[in-house]
Structure 1
Amino acid sequence: MPTFHRQPEWQQPADRHTRLIDPVLTVRQLSRFDLSLKHVVRIDHALVFATPKGGYETFLPPRRPTRGEIMASRYTAVYEVDMGVHPFTDTFTLPSDNDAFEFTAEVDVSWQVVDPGRFVASGIRDVPGLLLGELQQTARPVTRRFTIADSAAAETELLKAAQLVGPLGAPAGLQVTWTLRLRRDQANIDHQQRLQAIDHSAEEQVRTARQGMRVDVEVDHRHRQQDELQLGRAMDYGRQQQELLLQQQRWQHEQALLQGQHQLELQRIEAQKIQFYQWHLSQGGVQSWALHLAQHPEDSRLVMSSMREDQLRMIQAQMDLVKELLGGEGAEKFELEGPKQLALRTVSDILNQRLPGVPQN
């Protein structure tokens, strides 16, 4: 594998982890005695040699020309080309139908040199600029037909137009895959977000009001049910109270009737007792006491004592009456004849130990 002694006329301080703009890493002018073993080319880089006639011959990795081939072909320069895959993301603006508003396009690109000779011959030194320029050239006429609010439709139409144009970077020997996202500008997005926030707030307020009305209806319905239940309980309680009052009145009426009947029965019994006692009392005191003993035999001692006292009082009264009649001087003799006979019989009865006025068999 050849090595080169002369320092390159062009060399990029780029590695695999930096964003690569130009895949041509080094450019060296060659002379007949310029080959040496001082510089080693990386195995994954392609070498493109310029011929004296202005052509280019490519040696893809890992193939490298020998010193003899380089000397025989008399190459004038050599280009070291990176054939790795290089991704990048960029953002640019696209016009809408109104110059006051612009779309924002965000594109993810992954590119690779597949034809190093064609790329070197193209003279391109800014691959991202080339690809973004082709995208903008294709996209601007498309997005001009859409309003700023139709970003989705503009994106769909733009992808269709890009497919019709062909692969990006193909004339420069590049293989490119890309994805594009089209959206409104930030001012329009902020405006739409404010409008959306207003719509959401209004919708929340409307829903809150509607749900509040439903809640009010349910609360009113519940209150009405509670009122109906309370009214029903009050009516039931009133009916029960009325029925109880009627029962009490009927009971009181029945008690009054029973009491009246009882009073009438008592009055009838009292009348019978009066008649009974009147008849027996008309027969004399002894029969009255005999009746009392017949009804209350436990009062015999009391009856006997009372009868004795009654007899004594009656005898004393009769003796006093006899004394008064026998010693009286105010009446005529013929007037006192009858009472005197009565007084003598009374004294005879007392002496014979018989109660006055009680007939003897």
Structure 2
Amino acid sequence: MANTYNPIVSKEALRWGLLQRRPVPEPGTALVFVGDGQPLLTITQGQRGPTKGEMVWGKYNMLYKVDISEHPLSFRCDLPCKTDAFDFHAEVKFNCSVHEPEIIVQRNVTDVYEVLEPLIDHVMRSMSRSYEFKEVGIAEREIGDRVKQEVYDAGFQLNRFVLKLSLEQEVRDRIRRKTNIQEEVEVDITSIKGKSELEKTVIEEQNKLEKLKIESDKLEIERLRIKMDFYNEIIQTGSLQLLVLQLAKNPNDVMAVAQMLNQQRQLAVDNEVKLLEVLLKEDAIEGSQFDDAGKHIVQRLMGLIERPAPALKSNPISNPENKKPLAEKDETNNSAESVVPEFNWEEDEEDN
């Protein structure tokens, strides 16, 4: 229940006489003199009041005693929020005092609450619609400043004005749950983003590794091609000693070279067969020539088919039976053949 008080303590008519004393204001009160056609005259404690002559000539015939001391007041009300679904519960507490006694007398204010409560409620309601429920602190401060100014203009002064805005418990619980859900969602989103960035980084690293592997494979293929071209050139020139020396230095190339030789032999077989097929199909050989030419081609073909693949003999150094002290070795055998692998190589028969 709101407190209230009547700021007009007393009201009396003035009858001036020779023996009547001049009125003096008491502490916490103000005297307001009212006269016909004269502006109101207010005096407070410590101020010099009008003389008897001024009273008579000024025709002041009414005296009001106004309470200007502080009085605690309070009330509660509901204020609209920016979101129509919610209302602020407002609890208002303040100390009120009269700072313009003339206004109180002119308006004949006898109940402070009846004057201030509607005024304060109107000011707070007009401003509260601009704030969300999360902006309680800002709303309390700004609404309080505006209320003090409006009340001051009405002849009152507010001291230690306290405005407390709150929501219903059910609404607060609902907002709290919503806030918790939003925070959890934000945490999940942050976690998902983090995982997504991590997965993206992993994928990028995998792509980089795959690209590096592809480039490495290309380089390895190119290296092998260059190496095989080198060995092929040695084979084509018939430099078997050079081939043996190179394989001795690079024993890991033996299988690759053997495979290349097998492929060349197979290619030669295929070429001879195709040549024979073409000769037979196109009748390029006369009957008298068929015996010699055919025999020669068949002999070459049989030689290619029956020729065994080059085989790498055991290195005398690596043979357990040949592991003898270096002193027992033949000092004269210093050729490359004593330290490199040997091949069984059958030369093609020379063409007749």
Structure 1-normalised TM-score? 0.40
Q: Which has the higher contact order (CA 8 A, sep 6+)?
A: 2
The normalised TM-score by structure 2 is 0.41
Structure showing greater radius of gyration is 1
